[in-house]
Chain A
Amino acid sequence: MLHLVNKSPFYTDSLNSCLKFAAKGTPVLLIEDGVYGAMSGTSLEPKMTEVMKDHPVYVLKEDVMARGIANPIQGVKEIDYTGFVELAEQHRTCTWS
């Protein structure tokens, strides 16, 4: 299952809930304000680095660009909408908002 998170982790607990229930190995895609969770230099960075041992973490490039924060944590994969569609072809989706 592909997990979509669209809220900033500094605003709601949606990312935490998602990570709590996401089965090991399942991909997590951060979109909209969710992309703030994958930026380096935040208090969340060590946790996200740990998370990436169990889950591939993606951010939506268009949302990252829009927010002027083009410095994802090392290991986070940037994809565009075409990449999003490709992930959605391979997985069923659960949205955490």
Chain B
Amino acid sequence: MKFGILVQEGPYHHQSSDSAYQFVKAAMDKGHEIVGVFFYHDGVINSTKLTDPQQDDRHIQKRWSEIGEKGVDLVVCIAAAKRRGINDDVLAPGFRISGLGQLTEMAIKADKFITFGA
């Protein structure tokens, strides 16, 4: 089955990025395809490679980058990113910046679409 995911909140501030990650991991373990994860609102902040948490905490950006390396499309909304100071200079591996059209295409392609956040 194909799942699409929307992440609406920034890392550490709110649990939604953690929840989305755990869901994606469990879905992939069950053999499902993730057609994409779209990062919107403060969710775009998940994508900065400047992320540098304390050693004893999880590294939210790296966890997503690992998901990206497995072939999952991690799309950061360009409009939301620009107004929050996120651009290609700070973008972590596995993410790409693109438009809201990508969210639309994920919604069309996915069998089931799940929003995490707000």
Chain A residues in the interface with B (C-beta under 8 A): 4, 6, 31-33, 62, 80-82, 84-85, 88-89, 91-93, 95, 97
Contacts and interface: CB of A to CB of B under 8 A. Distances in A.
B23 interface: yes
Contacts of A82: 26, 29-30
A32 B15 contact: yes
Interface size class on chain B is 20 to 34
Given A32-B19, A85-B30, A89-B1, A4 B25 contact: no
B81 to A, nearest CB: 21
B9 to A, nearest CB: 9
A6 B1 contact: no
Contacts of B26: 80-82, 84-85
B63 interface: no
27 contacts: A4-B115, A6-B15, A6-B116, A6-B117, A31-B19, A32-B16, A62-B22, A80-B26, A81-B22, A81-B23, A81-B25, A82-B29, A84-B23, A85-B26, A85-B32, A88-B3, A89-B1, A89-B32, A92-B112, A92-B113, A93-B112, A93-B114, A95-B115, A95-B117, A95-B118, A97-B8, A97-B16
A16 B32 CA distance: 32
A88 B27 CA distance: 10
Nearest to A81: B26
Contacts of B22: 62, 81
A56 B89 CA distance: 47
